[in-house]
Structure 1
Amino acid sequence: MTEARFDDTIHAPVRLRICGLLNNADRLDFAVVRDTLGISDATLSKHVKTLADAGHVTINKSASANRTDARRVTWLSLSPTGRSAFAAHIRALQDIAGQPHLTL
């Protein structure tokens, strides 16, 4: 079990929601994350860059089989470090709330 550890980078509301979404998937399309959170491309890009700079999120681009143009799909995923940091942050929040730790 991961030790509880508050993470200021993850704690910002949009970044916490991004990590929560990515924690439940191997990877998600940038557009899916944007639409699910109801935020702009620019807002998501800013927060993803912050998470990527901290080593929490990885960004990969690939050609799309569904497109006939040259545009690429941007895939987002939590890195192993990001998964661990997210789990530790959730445990820290549970401690603050006086709740038992849930398994992520």
Structure 2
Amino acid sequence: MEVVKSRSFTAERAWGSKQIANMQGITTKLHWTDQPYKWHINDGEEVFVVLDGVVDMHYRVNGAEEIAVLEVGDIFFASVGTEHVAHPRGEVRVLVVESEGSV
């Protein structure tokens, strides 16, 4: 049993994380960042939940770039093959659920 106070979580580097759980190969991690990630496609599906701050989530649909503004409580679901990159507006904390070892 563990209680995690996400708003006080920080990391030594952008996209640093704390693993909350690993349930049969599906990880749940709390991330802190103040820098964009990189364009990527996950090995499987990904659930991305904004816990603190605002994230501009860039993604491509049929080669065209789109942007979703994600605020606290918003969820982005990346299905298999979804190319995407998160751009935080300042400091953010996000919860990411994905296959273990995914990009």
Q: Which range, TM-score by smaller chain?
A: 0.3 to 0.5
* Structure showing the higher strand proportion among its residues: 2
* Structure showing the higher helix proportion among its residues: 1
Q: TM-score, structure 1 length as denominator?
A: 0.33
